[in-house]
């Protein structure tokens, strides 16, 4: 089994090395090869997604990814910015199915900004379409405004679009995920305003005919944002487009106390995948040894389950994470009085010990 290790920028290298440590402690041999990506790719090879890095990711059975981005690259032209690395990997590897589970560990109920009774026992899954929508739609750019009261001025524009097959395949991923869980799926759209999402709603409704055992409902994205903070436990699986999924998954992450706890999987049609924490590169705390490595460690567990066919090893890692939380170990993002504050490497070591 070959794993491409792409640590990236900011806290990326610190958290990825903890996940690698955990993988190495499982007692199996994984072939791992590391390559630069994001700002690190730009520094090393002049491009956020160097050819060699993309080739490695394509050749590997799975990709373990840290995070990319740093304010210092914000002035680069868009194709050279670190974010293009993750967008390019998703597009080039065909990783259209993004799974973002939001689970609240009982020990962290007090770490959420929401009342414990609202979030305790939370276990929801966001299925985000990852290679379409306004993120990739063409045309886009800055042009001369062709009409209306601002005609002749410069205008920025993007294109929101979804092809039928694109909606169908993510709907199947979501219905199948729901079948393995609580059998309820909420499709989030903006059908009251957008043609793209009226179409989305119609196609998801059509795919539903193949999954009569799953209860489907539809919700506008603004209402979904409200329900996520009002009564998040009412959701089981949420399926939505790329942009709405980006926004809602950050909101869902915070329900669990810290975005530092949330793993993710991005899968192609054959379950080859890229695994990354749902959070970003957090340049403000990079190099301080205080970042929470658990989202990345849990992403490695998802990798074992979905791409490497090692469900038992995934279970072991997830149990080990629960154990260190039960022991009271906390990185600063989830620290509360009465618990023990630890750094990134100590947290990684504790997971290894718990294994």
**Residue 289: burial class (beta carbons within 10 Å; 0-12, 13-18, 19+):** middle
Buried b (16+ CB within 10 A) or exposed e, 213-235: ebebebbbbeebbebbeeebeeb
Our answer to whether residue 217 is catalytic in this structure is no
254 neighbors 248 (Cβ within 8 angstroms): no
**For ligand IPM, which stretch binds (CB under 6 A), given 83-91, 114-122, 173-181, 324-332?**
83-91
Residues 202-261 interacting with Mg ion (rule: CB under 5 A): 246
158 binds Mg ion (CB under 5 A): no
Q: Indicate which single residue of 87, 160, 194, 355 sits in contact with ligand IPM (rule: CB under 6 A).
A: 87
252 binds ligand IPM (CB under 6 A): no
Partner whose binding site includes residue 87, from Mg ion, ligand IPM, none (CB under 5 to 8 Å by kind): ligand IPM
Catalytic site residue from 73, 105, 162, 190: 190
Nearer to ligand IPM, 50 or 280 (CB): 280
Strands (E), 35-88: 62-67
**Residue 46: burial class (beta carbons within 10 Å; 0-12, 13-18, 19+):** exposed
Alpha helices in 180-288, H assignment, sequence order: 195-208, 221-230, 242-255
83 binds ligand IPM (CB under 6 A): yes
The Cα 96–Cα 31 span in angstroms is 25
86 binds ligand IPM (CB under 6 A): yes
Nearer to Mg ion, 61 or 246 (CB): 246
Nearer to Mg ion, 117 or 284 (CB): 284
Tally of CA atoms within 13 A in the half-sphere of 185 that contains its CB: 28
Our answer to whether residue 222 is catalytic in this structure is yes
158 binds ligand IPM (CB under 6 A): no
Catalytic residues: 135, 190, 222, 246, 250
Residues lying near ligand IPM in the complex (CB under 6 A) are found at 83, 86-87, 246
């Amino acid at each position: 089994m070959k794993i491409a290790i792409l640590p990236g920028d900011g806290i990326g290298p610190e958290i990825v090395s903890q996940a690698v440590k955990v993988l190495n402690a499982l007692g199996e041999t994984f072939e791992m090869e590391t390559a630069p990506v994001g700002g690190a790719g730009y520094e090393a090879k002049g491009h956020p997604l160097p050819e060699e890095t993309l080739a490695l990711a394509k050749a590997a059975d799975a990709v373990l990814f840290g995070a990319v981005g740093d304010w210092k690259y914000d002035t680069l032209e868009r194709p050279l910015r670190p974010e293009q690395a993750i967008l390019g990997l998703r597009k080039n590897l065909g990783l259209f199915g993004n799974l973002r589970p939001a689970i609240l560990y009982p020990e962290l109920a007090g770490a959420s900004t929401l009342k414990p009774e609202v979030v305790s026992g939370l276990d929801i899954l966001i299925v985000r379409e990852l290679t379409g929508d306004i993120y990739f739609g063409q045309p886009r750019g800055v042009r001369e405004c062709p009409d209306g009261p601002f005609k002749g001025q410069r205008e920025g524009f993007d294109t929101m679009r979804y092809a039928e097959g694109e909606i169908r395949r993510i709907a199947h991923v979501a219905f199948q995920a729901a079948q393995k869980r609580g059998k309820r799926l909420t499709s989030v759209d903006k059908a009251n305003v957008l043609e793209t999402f009226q179409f989305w709603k119609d196609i998801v409704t059509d795919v539903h005919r193949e999954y009569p055992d799953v209860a489907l409902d539809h919700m506008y994205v603004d209402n979904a944002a409200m329900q996520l903070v009002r009564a998040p436990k009412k959701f089981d699986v949420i399926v939505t487009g790329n942009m709405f999924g980006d926004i809602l998954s950050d909101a869902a992450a915070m329900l669990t106390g810290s975005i530092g706890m949330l793993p993710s999987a991005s899968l192609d049609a054959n379950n080859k995948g890229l695994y990354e924490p749902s959070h970003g590169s957090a340049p403000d705390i990079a190099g301080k040894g205080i970042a929470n490595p658990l989202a990345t460690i849990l992403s490695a567990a998802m990798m074992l389950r979905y791409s490497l066919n090692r469900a038992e090893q995934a279970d072991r890692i997830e149990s080990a994470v629960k154990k260190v939380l039960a022991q009271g170990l906390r990185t600063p993002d989830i620290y509360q009085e009465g618990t023990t504050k630890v750094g990134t490497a100590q947290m990684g070591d504790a997971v290894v010990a718990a294994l």
